[in-house]
Amino acid sequence: DTLWELAIAEVKKRENPDDDDVKPGEVWEKSILFMGNKNGGKTTIILRCLERDESPKPTLALEYTFGRRARRHNTPKDVAHFWELGGGTSLVELIRIPITSHNIRSFAVVLVLDLSKPDELWTTMESLLQVTRNHVNKILTKLEKTNPEVAAEIKQRMWNNLQRDHPDCALVDPFPIPLVIIGSKYDIFHEFDSEMRKIISKTLRFVSHYYGASLVFTSKSEALLLKARALINHLAFGYDKSKSVSVDPSKPLFIPAGLDSMSQIGPPPASDSDLGKMRANTPLELWKKVFEKTFPPKSFCDLQDTKDPAQDIQYAEYEVDVMRAQKNQELEQYKRNASKSWKEMDFDSD
């Protein structure tokens, strides 16, 4: 290699630290889990990223697809695994299937939040990120015993988006794996009252910065979808990370991870007297109380997906449905018999 080639390689290595383990000729393999509001536009975003001209269909549970791209001419195509969690928050436990100790180093999460439903926004975000974080932390705890170097590497990467001298290092709590937050249906959100838009935008800026995540607002607009696609392609295929920033609340937000700050975001959108009355143990809890005062959340039960896909007529199969009905009758009979047996059992009084 010439001196210039070595210099170029070093610059690329510094700009894309995730490329360190990918040697020339090797295949880059990444995994991304899309989750968020039901009917929030996750499938549409995935199809656009993969450049597939298909009509999106409802996601029943956990669906998988993949994409392949070549980084350079005459090189092996890299692979990105795309997982999509359907049902909003009702099937969140399924995240254990795609996120494992084997792929945790190359895994990322995309959280799609429906901007047109602010009363569901915080509950959906909190539920999905909390369960995901707990699962990832369990994997890291096990890795600390079996492969401490990998565990240490993942924990260090959490802070890669923030410069060492960033003034907010003590105020944030980065998500353990790369995270992108997408605010979907911006076209509807744009029709909201300006003060409502400011509160939602400011809150999502804080949440994204707090978790060390990238934030982008999108809709069916081609221009906005391209911005979301740029962030996802960075995670999936190692494309260059965008350095542009848009923080104007009257326009779609676009803020790559690490390029925002608490001083630019400002305090929670509430009066000093209201803030003084709110008891909170963390900045995140304070922002939650302020946000939910303006947008009272739906109950968790209301966010559950109660529709049974087995009853959907588009999936009807006569022989299968007859057998299912028979098994349901057998199950009900078993429950009745078990209930009788349970009531007749004698228990020790001690």
CA distance 288 to 281: 11
Please report the pLDDT score of residue 163 as a whole number. 75
Average pLDDT, the chain: 83
The string of pLDDT tens digits covering residues 238-282 is 888 888 899 998 899 999 998 999 999 999 988 877 777 888 788
What would the mean pLDDT of 280-296 be, rounded to a whole number?
90
Which residue would you say has higher pLDDT here, 10 or 103? 103
Determine the pLDDT at residue 341: 59
Residue 304 predicted with pLDDT over 70: no
The per-residue pLDDT for 298 is 75
Q: Which of 153-167, 202-216, 312-326 has the lowest mean pLDDT?
A: 312-326
User: How do beta strands 214-217 and 254-255 pair?
Assistant: antiparallel
| Exposure class string for 164-174: b at 16+ Cβ within 10 A, else e | eeeebeeebeb
Q: Say if CB 186 and CB 169 are below 8 A apart.
A: no
Structural domains for the chain: 27-294 (3.40.50.300)
More confident residue, 308 or 319: 319
Does 19 have pLDDT greater than 80? Answer: no
**Predicted confidence band at 349 (pLDDT cuts at 50, 70, 90)?**
very low
Residues in the chain: 350
Please check the confidence at residue 215 and state whether its pLDDT lies above 80. Answer: yes
The tokens for 137 are 């932390």
What residues pair up with 62 in beta bridges, in sequence order? 85
CA distances (Å), origin 54, targets 186, 189, 223, 293: 22, 25, 19, 40
Q: What is the pLDDT of residue 32?
A: 94
pTM here? Answer: 0.78
Nearest CA-CA partner of 107 in 133, 68, 75 = 133
pLDDT tens digits, 123-163 = 999 999 999 999 999 999 999 999 999 899 998 888 888 87
Q: Which residues contact 111 (CB under 8 A, 6 or more apart)?
A: 35, 36, 125, 128, 129, 179, 180, 181, 182, 213
Average pLDDT over residues 28-57: 86
